[in-house]
Amino acid sequence: MKRAVVLLSGGLDSVTALAIAKQQGYECYTLSFDYGQRHDTELVASEKLSKQLGAKKHKVIKIDLRTIGGSALTDNDIDVPEEHHEGIPVTYVPARNTVFLSIALGWAEVLTANAIYIGVNAVDYSGYPDCRPEFVTAFEQLANLATKTGVEGNKLEVRAPLMRMTKAEIIRQGISLGVDYSQTVSCYQADEDGRACGLCDSCHFRKEGFIQAGISDPTRYSLGS
């Protein structure tokens, strides 16, 4: 059976990417990171969702991006904005997806996996540079030059199945594949019970997505709605 490493943040997008990888016939190995993020309830959610969706194995790797800082998600001195601004916001974590994909690449090589799935999206998103199609393509090229398996001709694909979908389309697809979105945590500053703030960029896109999909929003909010 062909294998895939799936990056799983515990949010709406990555969980949908996992459901798609499974549907596309992959045995899935899910990978989450304890990187010093504010919202570590997503780690609890990831483990639960990995099991629910039948992944073969779930791994959490600890890497302290707080020692680098530079983001509202990894530095307590920078607040998470509660309204939407133009440009790349302060919640952008320097090189985060590059770091996550690199470690996924290492695991993919050990597993002789054929694909890495990442739930990035360049439609209803915050404008992070490492969520764009050209970034994913460049990483796939790098991946096949970087590894022993790549050199030996075992091509690895980096798949971003949500790249061109709206949030509403992602939600509809996930629902059709049996994803339970009440278990996912998207909020940048969820409380310790996993309840969402309802105000940050990530809550904003998620909330709009459910409205546009015409699906009742199962998110548990602590403020707003």
- Interaction site with a second copy (CB under 8 A): 59, 61-65, 67-70, 88, 92-99, 101-103, 105-107, 109-110, 129-130, 132, 134-135, 138-139, 141-143, 145-148, 150-151
* Least distance CB 69 / a second copy (angstroms): 6
Q: Which is nearer to a second copy, 102 or 212 (CB)?
A: 102
Q: Which is nearer to a second copy, 13 or 130 (CB)?
A: 130
How open is the CA angle 201-193-76, to the nearest 5 degrees? 55
Q: Which is nearer to a second copy, 134 or 193 (CB)?
A: 134
* Least distance CB 196 / a second copy (angstroms): 25
* Least distance CB 116 / a second copy (angstroms): 11
* Least distance CB 217 / a second copy (angstroms): 31
d(CA 4, CA 133): 19
d(CA 200, CA 59): 28
* Least distance CB 24 / a second copy (angstroms): 23
* Least distance CB 14 / a second copy (angstroms): 18
Q: Which is nearer to a second copy, 104 or 197 (CB)?
A: 104
Over 99-152, what HEC string results?
HHHHHHHHHHHHHCCCEEECCCCCCCCCCCHHHCHHHHHHHHHHHHHHCHHHHC
Phi, then psi, of 81 in degrees rounded to 5: -70, 145
Q: Which is nearer to a second copy, 66 or 220 (CB)?
A: 66
Q: Are 89 and 201 in contact (CB under 8 A)?
A: yes
Q: Which is nearer to a second copy, 100 or 205 (CB)?
A: 100
Residues 55, 104, 14, 118: is their CA dihedral positive or negative?
Answer: negative
How open is the CA angle 93-96-99, to the nearest 5 degrees? 155
Q: Are 14 and 119 in contact (CB under 8 A)?
A: yes
> At which residue do the structure tokens 């509809």 appear?
172
d(CA 118, CA 104): 10
